[in-house]
Chains A and B, each alone.
Chain A
Amino acid sequence: MNVDSDPVMVPRPIVVAARALCRKRGEMYLLDNINLDILKGEKIAVLGPSGAGKSTLIRCFNQTEVHDSGTLSIDGQVIDRTTDLVKLRGMVGLVFQTYHLFPHLSVLDNCTLAPRLVRDMPLMQARALALGFLEQVGISEQAEMYPHQLSGGQQQRVAIARALCMQPRIMLFDEPTAALDPEAIRGVMNIINELCAAGITAIFVTHEMGFARHVADRIVFMDRGRILETTPATSFFEAPRSTRARIFLDRMLCL
């Protein structure tokens, strides 16, 4: 669908590199020997049945979940216990399935809070920045409203704008469309496409096969903490390599 926007075929830098990444809870492996490279500007959909470790994986990328072993590099930097988390989370934004907007703050204040506290940004500059991103996600008219006055789709856009205000290079989306109607899903789709056109890398967990098919460049298919295959989106939906993925797709499509 989306033609690669890089006209000169220079190799794009790797922004996320995972090697033998593991995360355990008790004796169970939530992540089991994960190896994955993600390039700058790529759109990656992480698919798989519930409990496959999809959310755990993407949350490791901004260390809201911490891996137990293996190495993880973000933008060339190895992430370990000594990593400056404030800096890392400024670079890697996360949007939640249920948005988690701050209900006591207006849309604009939701967006300016973190830049002002974490980056010591002056109020006026933070507001200008936030209004820019709210404009980009098409919700600048609601800047003075409170979250409970917005629809689900509008709240999702605010959550995206709030994450963008930290000016991340990588955006993680944890089931961004789970609670949205088809109209709103199309809106989120467009936003992600725009972001990636501007050089941001988008990694999202989803159960919406149509969404993954239309947005993603590549599909990462997981089950029981392992990556079973990493395939370009078009070939994955036409001919998945792994048997597990084939069964999964059959079930998803023939509900």
Chain B
Amino acid sequence: MRSSTPHAVTGLQFVCFCLLLLFFPGCLLRAQSSPVPGFIHDGVLNVCTNPTLPPMTFMKHAGGDTDMPSGVDIDLARALAGYWHVRLEVSSMDFVGLFPSLVAGRCGLVASGVTRLPSRERSFDAVPYLDTALVVVAPATTPPIDRMSDLSGRRIAVQAGTSYTAMVEHLNEQLVAQHRAPIEIQQYPTEENVVQQVLLGRDFAFISQDVEIYFRQKQLHGRVHVILRTDDTDYRQFALYMRKDAQDHEALRHAIAVLSANGQINAIARRWSINPVGATDLTAGPVITFAWGDFFRALASGAFLRGAGVTLLLALASHVTAIIISIPIALRLGGKPGPVRALLGLYIYIFRAVPTLLQLLFVWNALPQFCPIFREAWFSPFLAAWISLSLNESAYQAEINRSALVAVDAGQIAAARALGMGTGQTYRHVVFPQALRIALPPTLNDFITLLKTTSLASVISLHELLSVAQVEVARSFEFSEYYAAALVYYLLMVLFFIMLQKIMEHRLGWPIHGAGAHER
């Protein structure tokens, strides 16, 4: 026991050392051969994006038959890849995951309609590529305002993780100093959630960039309009972000300059109709109705089916792994006190105490900083979600198993012993089958919870059911239809497992306290 720990450490060091050896030749080759920036590895430009901000980056096609987002940013990334003669790979993820992924080295560039800000440039290098303006948008009936401070006392919606929050908070300090009511901020995870709050009338207005509104006019049929167009210097340009590196920064700036000079960037902007013409095109919007056709098309679509498949597969894989991990833990927890049991108690404590969302973000974004092997392509979002959900669930499952083992009558072990059965035989044939019966209902209960917890994995860019629905909503703005479709999928999946639980309980059926009862 005592001697195995140093061995394990040296083993780990050896693995990391081998991986470093694998890395080094690649690093050396890159330095010698080409002017390609250092954030391009193995001929691949990896770009992180949150495809919920049309027309910069979004899922254009219904059903999401291609996983590839579209938009200005994606076209620009493609043009850059062409310029350097490398392959383009795009990773879609939640907005809050973009910069952590950049830090973790999972992508070389962030291209996601992010504006250039001095505060961001303290930590990252930015290269601007498109002019824009910050706008305040409200329902079509709202009269225009003159300045940001006119929003005093109003409630506005912004996308979480964007810098608009900090800007408004700064403005609020000034408002409070003038004894005026501050602006109330509500943050939502995606841009279309933000727009929806205003459409619903829950919030007064939202903050965005002008190009988005040009595009949204088509989706929203003129139900919103710009009430303020600021000349805030901080939000005048969209920029690509990269890890700080003077040489790479210069290379990227040069590439953008070339693409701008040869008219490619202008062509992209034209393709996505980034011009203010649409802004004047204000007409009364149609009445909101539930589009049954789109609802049924979503139900039958490959994207929803695939999303449900990912959700189901992730939940099953994680729970099976969790059960395998939890059985030895549960057996040891039932044993004598000692350092091993204390450590296992700590393990369970940690995984029950830390929010699942935080565990997912940690595994996906923090692990690569400790050990570089987690930056490689094989460490997919699915694998990361599988690992973190397995560990998380194993803590809960260990508690279920432990209590199930305790609940098996000690007399059962005594009876098996008295018949000459060994410890292994006793557990395999007498204790486990009875513990299974006791553990089954809480286990399936936990599984159903886990099935829904998988929706958190959208933050690490896994395309499970809920993220599929959100992408469809961002494309079409049909909230009720796509949320309802996802809801139906969840209901059906959970119903299936409830039925399975009934059948299994019936098959394993004996009254738990029936055996050994003194009376009939």
Contact = CB atoms under 8 A, between A and B. Distances in A.
B510 A114 contact: no
A96 interface: yes
B437 A166 contact: no
Given A98-B516, A148-B510, A148-B517, A114 B434 contact: no
User: Size class of A's contact patch?
Assistant: 20 to 34
A163 B420 CA distance: 10
Contacts of B417: 64, 89
Given A89-B419, A114-B421, A104 B414 contact: no
Given A62-B418, A114-B420, A100 B510 contact: no
A36 interface: no
A87 B425 CA distance: 15
Interface residues of B, number: 29
A102 B430 contact: yes
B419 A166 contact: yes
Contacts of B430: 102, 113
B516 A100 contact: yes
A151 B512 CA distance: 16
B422 interface: yes
A118 B510 contact: no
A152 B416 CA distance: 20
Interface in B383-428: 409, 411-412, 414-422, 425
B515 A166 contact: no
B519 interface: yes
Given A104-B508, A118-B425, A152-B519, A89 B411 contact: no
A86 B422 contact: yes
A150 to B, nearest CB: 8
Interface string A146-178: 111011100100000011001000000000000
Interface of A: 62, 64, 85-90, 93-94, 96, 98-104, 113-114, 117-118, 146-148, 150-152, 155, 162-163, 166, 179
17 contacts: A62-B418, A87-B420, A88-B420, A100-B414, A102-B515, A104-B434, A113-B419, A114-B420, A118-B419, A118-B420, A147-B510, A148-B510, A148-B514, A151-B520, A152-B519, A152-B520, A166-B420
Given A64-B418, A93-B418, A98-B411, 16 more contacts: A88-B420, A89-B417, A89-B420, A93-B419, A96-B414, A101-B515, A102-B415, A103-B515, A103-B516, A104-B433, A114-B421, A118-B420, A147-B510, A147-B514, A147-B516, A148-B517
Interface of B: 409, 411-412, 414-422, 425, 429-430, 433-434, 437, 508, 510-512, 514-520
